[in-house]
Amino acid sequence: MSDRPAPKEPARQPPIIIVVIAAIAVAVLALPLIGLLQRTPWPSLGSTLGKASTLEALRVSVVVSILAATVSVVLGLPLAWVLARLSFRGRALVRAVVLLPMVLPPVVGGIALFFALGRRGLVGRALQNAFGVDTLIGTTAGAVIAAAFVSMPFFVITAEAGLRQLDPRLESAAATLGAGRWTVLRRITLPLLAPSLAAGATLSWARALGEFGATITFAGNHPGRTRTLPLAIAQANESAEPEAAIVMAVLLIGVSLVVLIGLRHRWITPYAHKPANSPQTSPS
């Protein structure tokens, strides 16, 4: 993948124009971050971070994003398998529908969720009867559904791409050697797929962590239940408390970076560093 060492070439000057454009790209992405850090009120950082409302929003964010990523994996993995391995009429349509939340404005997603799961939505009444759920507004379950709606596509496309790259002959070979369906899945498919699954799960978790529009529209803004860090940041920003907004934004970025960097070294890099043509074996 991207971390694969560059193939050895005779020493040559890199094309200057590409390097310049790459530097501009880095500036576009990094400058806002630097701007934020430069405005961060470091002396009062601790007191704002320690505030009960900040910690509460952090807790809601962590719980909601992890649950949403879990939902994405549990529902998304079988979906990715169907999309990658079965050919059926309308597969392109299914894939388009699955990817739609990625391009849909999240607020539209939130409104659409109302019409599906709301009290007067398509299956809302059935939901009410089955689970005794009167409403999802102001509930953590509602926030998880909203976050899973926008983040699941990230897992599905990553997992599907991973499944497509997998050499099916490895699975056939295992089967001819007498491995049952589940053994093949457990011993061959999933281990080979692990890097894609980890990358997909991380992507969907990160998307869920940053979720704002669908959450506030569908699940509302309730402290301790649906008020995640992004919601708390928006509210602080609109309440003439820009300092609190900045501190929580730095916190959110910190949490994301720690997890993304941590996971990268743990799961993704070891596989990615393998040369492409080396025989792939299940890790043991």
| SS3 of residue 281 by DSSP | coil
Q: Does 215 contact another protein by CB under 8 A?
A: no
Helix-helix angle 190-210:242-263, to 10 degrees: 180
Identity of the amino acid at 73: V
Give dist(CA 147, CA 112) in Å, integer: 13
Residue 135 or 280 with smaller CB distance to another protein: 135
Q: How many residues bind another protein (CB under 8 A)?
A: 22
Out of 242, 254, 262, 270, which residue is the one contacting another protein (CB under 8 A)? Answer: 242
Question: What's the closest the beta carbon of residue 223 comes to another protein, in angstroms?
Answer: 8
Contact call for residue 138 and another protein (CB under 8 A): yes
Angle between helices 140-165 and 190-210 (to 10 degrees): 140
Residue 51 interacts with another protein (CB under 8 A): yes or no: no
User: Token pair for residue 56?
Assistant: 């509460």
3-class secondary-structure state, position 180 = coil
Of 222, 253, 256, 272, the one binding another protein by CB under 8 A:
222
Does the footprint of another protein cover residue 260 (CB under 8 A)?
A: no
Is residue 119 a contact residue for another protein (CB under 8 A)?
A: yes
Which CB, 137 or 255, lies closer to another protein? 137
Q: Which of 162, 169, 8 is nearest to 73 (CA)?
A: 162
Note whether 234 binds another protein by CB under 8 A: yes
The amino acid that residue 260 corresponds to is L
- Kindly tell me which of 79 and 143 has the beta carbon lying closer to another protein: 143
Classify 169 as helix, strand or coil: helix
Q: How far apart are the first and last CA of the chain?
A: 21
Placement of tokens 């301790």 in the chain: 224
Is residue 165 involved in binding another protein (CB under 8 A)? no
Determine, following the binding rule CB under 8 A, whether residue 195 of this chain makes contact with another protein: no
Q: Which stretch binds another protein (CB under 8 A): 59-67, 116-124, 190-198, 263-271?
A: 116-124
For another protein, which stretch binds (CB under 8 A), given 69-77, 97-105, 135-143, 267-275? 135-143
Distance separating alpha carbons of residues 130 and 177, to the nearest angstrom: 46
Q: Which of 40, 70, 237, 280 binds another protein (CB under 8 A)?
A: 237
Residue 217 — φ and ψ, nearest 5°?
-75, -50
Q: Note whether 54 binds another protein by CB under 8 A.
A: no
Identity of the residue, 41 or 223, whose beta carbon is nearer to another protein in the bound complex: 223
The tokens for 167 are 């050499």
Rounded to whole angstroms, the Cα distance separating 60 from 58 reads 5
Does position 140 bind another protein by CB under 8 A? no
Alpha-carbon gap, residue 230 to 237, rounded angstroms? 10
Using rule CB under 8 A, residue 114 touches another protein: yes
CB of 34 to another protein, least distance (A): 18
Q: Which residues bind another protein (CB under 8 A)?
A: 114, 118-120, 134-135, 137-138, 216, 219-223, 226, 234-235, 237-240, 242
